[in-house]
Structure 1
């Protein structure tokens, strides 16, 4: 387990999706679909601490690298997800290199950093020796900074250059809204997205709609693709309009 960080740093292409419905059966189906990773959307979907914990437990059992998109970058929020055994953190609205360094500090043990507990899932419920767990620290957990504000887009290269930042993830919808646009396919947003995806120093990626062609983003440098969600898969798999049309057809 915990392959995600190493894959991102190796330049591999990783394909995932957002998980928005807190039920283990949904994760079981996503694992069967063949995704490399699943992102628990604790920012915009109804995931509390217990639901996140269950999702990580289930995902690990299914062989999925579970990433959590946190609702904020508070140290207490980061601690809980780290203790639960997440393979990666996707932190929203990262705008400066200083903010990225503060997040990294909250992920690590030591003075001013993460509080230690040896009986968590991440520590093997006490079976992992203290020196071994401290030595591993956050070494297997990926930090992916979401770039979704004009300030963050401007500082993307500085954020990527912070040692320990593994990825930049473009949030085109918020970037569009923050730039006064109402379409994340707007040409200016597309140009900014391509520039961020080409940023050296960290893996880059983005959310893509289920119908979107990924080739141009891959050519621009993206290696992490989070495509659609369990919600969009259900909607796309239920063509109600087609069925209604067939029922109203006199033939």
Structure 2
């Protein structure tokens, strides 16, 4: 029996639009609700959310019961944590702050078993292999792992052509917020210069044949990225969605009853 098919990986490779939502509330209940909401993919954030390996696993488990696909972002692109997340059952990883082709190649090695990579062989203990029930996991796992690099500063943009040339990288995701800060527009991801840099990068990624992605709540930018061929776009964040609606509910109640 081979490793489970990764529908997200194959969809973005063929240019099928995958709409997603960021999960930063770090809670399985929220993940379960979100997984039933109709999004194609959900990003379980280990970089800027209070997640650890156990909370990520719990979210992977509830998302797996629904139609949404889980993408996990570790806090850093280190081999040891990538190994843990893959063994825990993550099939799609978004690695933050990728700045060089060398770094991208090291990430490819980290998700690949020897002799072609350095991923530790511990699948008998792993949720990824259904605890050794998937007999062909070791020989089939790599082809279903989706590896995405997040480029989010000027150094990464300058090296984008070289990063895109790395075999084994499925796509590149542009992070507007960090890019804006690095460009001198802290907190102003909607600045014209930032948007121009984002769109130029998306266009270059699509032209390379790799999948292009972004997280933005700016509906105009979402449409522009899609028009350029971006295939995985996150349009909401659970934290801001919850906070925004809770505040609105409190205001509405106060206006109605006070």
Class of the TM-score when normalised by the shorter of the 2 chains: over 0.9
Structure 2 counterpart SS, 1:165: coil
Instruction: Output one character per residue of 1:34-73: Cα deviation in whole Å (capped at 9) or x when no partner.
Output: 0111100100011111111111111112232111111001
2:130 aligned residue (124, 142, 158)? 124
Instruction: State the shift of 1:155 in Å.
Output: 1.6
Contact 2:38 2:68 in 1 (8 A): no
1:45 aligned residue (49, 69, 74)? 49
Partner of 2:243: 235
Contact 1:203 1:224 in 2 (8 A): yes
1:226 aligned residue (215, 219, 234)? 234
Contact 2:32 2:59 in 1 (8 A): no
Q: Distance in 2 between matches of 1:157 and 1:13?
A: 23
Structure 2 counterpart SS, 1:228: strand
Q: Distance in 1 between matches of 2:36 and 2:57?
A: 21
Partner of 2:178: 174
Count matched residues.
Answer: 245
Structure 1-normalised TM-score? 0.92
Q: Distance in 2 between matches of 1:246 and 1:15?
A: 36
Partner of 2:219: 212
Task: Write the mapping of 1:116-155 to structure 2, written as runs, cut at 5 A.
Answer: 116-117=121-122, 118-129=124-135, 132-155=136-159
Contact 2:15 2:229 in 1 (8 A): no
Partner of 2:201: 196
Q: Distance in 1 between matches of 2:98 and 2:194?
A: 17
Ranges in structure 1 where 5+ consecutive residues have no aligned partner: none
Partner of 1:28: 32
Instruction: Output one character per residue of 1:141-198: Cα deviation in whole Å (capped at 9) or x when no partner.
Output: 2111101010111122221221111111111110011111121111111111001111
Contact 1:161 1:201 in 2 (8 A): no
Structure 2 counterpart SS, 1:110: coil
Instruction: State the shift of 1:123 in Å.
Output: 1.3
Q: Distance in 1 between matches of 2:18 and 2:6?
A: 13
Contact 2:28 2:55 in 1 (8 A): no
Contact 1:16 1:39 in 2 (8 A): yes
Contact 1:96 1:152 in 2 (8 A): yes
1:88 aligned residue (81, 86, 92)? 92
Contact 2:176 2:216 in 1 (8 A): no
Q: Distance in 1 between matches of 2:65 and 2:257?
A: 43
1:97 aligned residue (101, 105, 109)? 101
Ranges in structure 2 where 5+ consecutive residues have no aligned partner: none
